[in-house]
């Protein structure tokens, strides 16, 4: 029932994204420059809320645009109604609906749906991860220097040692491909599917990573914070890899040379 509701929620919201991308919609700005929210983010959120409330009216909800609906429940839905809003607002079809579900503070289910590529990623704790119902697995590459990486940048620049641009520059100077898709949830799912060997980002919110986090773990990958400690989606930094390049990536992100 929980899984069916989760899938119904991401698929119904994905339909909203698909139907509206070519239409005109209002776009407004949040904190920072070009940190956008569109009318469709709100529509997607409304559809997700109504699907959840039909089956689980007493569950706790944390959603990017509406904040928290606090309930005394062991279940918490963590929702990004459009991950990749800047892409969406520019008609770039690299964006998705992302929903993770925590039970007693542990991520137990995650679904990420990109309606434009018709890719539905799903994972349940202990049951593996799938893409359109087929099992997926992280890559096997063990050498960071030969890896294909992905990252993202925060809307507000982080003036910190070993910040996003310094780390990015180190990879680029060595000729290591680092893609920047603009959707952290898709970045994580593509690590899970073995398309990327690793992903790192310095400042995310829980709704960006909740679903992708469990999808990577269930695909056999490793997810930690920037220091290599147990990953908690309520703190900013993330490193997600196939496991084989993880320690090396942590070293580089923390100032080490390539
Ligand atoms: C953003 C995307 C992007 C990441 C940003 C996020 P949004 O989410 O996931 O890839 O670099 O940090 O805020 O605003 O499109 O939901
Ligand atoms: Ca997001
Ligand atoms: Ca969003």
Q: What is the pLDDT of residues 50-59, one digit of tens each?
A: 999 999 999 9
Is residue 10 very low, low, confident or very high in pLDDT (cuts 50, 70, 90)?
Answer: very high
Tokens 């980002």 -> residue: 201
Which of 74, 126, 127 lies closest to 103, judged by CA?
74
Which tokens hold the place of 206?
Answer: 């829980």
127 is catalytic: no
124 is catalytic: no
Closest protein CA for atom 11 of ligand 1: 152
At the topology level, CATH places domain 2-135 in Fructose-1,6-Bisphosphatase; Chain A, domain 1 (3.30.540)
Kindly tell me if the per-residue pLDDT of 31 is higher than 80.
Answer: no
In DSSP notation, 88-101 reads: HHTT-S--EEEEEE
56: Cα separation from own chain's centroid: 24
85 is catalytic: yes
Q: How many residues does the chain have?
A: 258
Residue 22 buriedness (CB in 10 A; 0-12 / 13-18 / 19+)? exposed
83 is catalytic: yes
Identify which of 48, 182, 191, 211 to mutate to test ligand 1's pocket (most ligand atoms within 8 A of the CB).
Answer: 182
| Residues whose Cβ atom is located within 5 A of ion ligand 2 | 80, 83, 208
Give the per-residue pLDDT at 26: 83
Query: What pTM was computed for the model?
Result: 0.97
Strands 75-83, 96-103: parallel, antiparallel or unpaired by DSSP?
antiparallel
* Angle formed at CA 195 by CA 127 and CA 80, multiple of 5 degrees: 65
Question: In the chain, which residue ranges form alpha helices assigned H by DSSP?
Answer: 2-20, 39-55, 85-89, 164-173, 184-192, 206-218, 246-253
Q: Which of 85, 130, 151, 224 is catalytic?
A: 85
Which of 205, 211, 238 lies closest to 101, judged by CA?
211
| Distance (Å, whole) CA 82 – CA 98 | 7
Q: What are the start and end residues of each CATH 3.30.540.10 domain in the chain?
A: 2-135
φ and ψ of 183, to 5 deg:
-145, 105
- Which ligand is located closest to the Cα atom of residue 184? 1
CB 238 within 8 A of CB 201: yes
Q: What are the start and end residues of each CATH 3.40.190.80 domain in the chain?
A: 144-253
**Beta-carbon contacts of residue 66 (< 8 Å; ≥ 6 apart):** 45, 49
Identify which of 163, 181, 184, 188 to mutate to test ligand 1's pocket (most ligand atoms within 8 A of the CB).
Answer: 184
pLDDT digits (tens, 9 = 90+) for 100-139: 999 999 999 999 999 999 999 999 999 999 999 999 999 9
Kindly tell me if the per-residue pLDDT of 19 is higher than 80.
Answer: yes
Give the position, in ligand 1's atom list, of the atom nearest the Cα of 64: 16
Measured in Å, residue 184 CA sits from the centre of ligand 1 at 6
Q: What is the largest CA-CA distance in the chain?
A: 52
153 lines ligand 1 (CB under 6 A): yes
Give the per-residue pLDDT at 35: 79
CATH number, domain 144-253: 3.40.190.80
Which tokens hold the place of 190?
Answer: 């593509």
Identify which of 94, 152, 207, 240 to mutate to test ligand 1's pocket (most ligand atoms within 8 A of the CB).
Answer: 152
Which of 37, 34, 66, 33 lies closest to 52, judged by CA?
66
């Amino acid at each position: 029932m929980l899984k069916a509701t989760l899938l119904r929620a991401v698929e119904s919201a994905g339909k909203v994204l698909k139907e509206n991308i070519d239409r005109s919609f209002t776009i407004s700005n949040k904190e920072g420059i070009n940190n956008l929210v569109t009318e469709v983010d709100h529509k997607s959120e409304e559809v997700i809320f109504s699907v959840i409330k039909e089956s689980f009216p007493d569950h706790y909800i944390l959603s990017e645009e509406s904040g928290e609906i606090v309930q005394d429940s062991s279940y918490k839905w963590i929702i990004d109604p459009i991950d990749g809003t800047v892409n969406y607002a520019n008609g770039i079809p690299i964006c998705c609906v992302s929903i993770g579900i925590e039970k007693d503070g542990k991520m137990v289910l995650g679904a990420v749906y990109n309606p434009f590529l018709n890719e539905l990623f799903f994972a349940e704790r202990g049951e593996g991860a799938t893409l359109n119902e087929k099992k997926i697995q992280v890559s096997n590459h063990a050498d960071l220097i030969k890896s294909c990486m992905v990252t993202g940048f925060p809307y507000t620049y982080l003036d910190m040692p070993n910040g996003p641009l310094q780390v990015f520059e180190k990879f680029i100077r060595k000729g290591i491909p680092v893609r920047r898709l603009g959707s952290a949830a898709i970045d994580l799912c593509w690590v899970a599917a073995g398309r990327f060997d690793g992903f790192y980002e310095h400042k995310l919110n829980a709704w960006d990573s909740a679903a992708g986090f469990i999808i990577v773990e269930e695909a056999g990958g490793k997810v930690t914070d920037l220091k290599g400690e147990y990953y908690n989606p309520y703190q900013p930094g993330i490193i997600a890899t196939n496991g084989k390049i993880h320690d090396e990536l942590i070293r580089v992100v923390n100032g080490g040379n390539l």
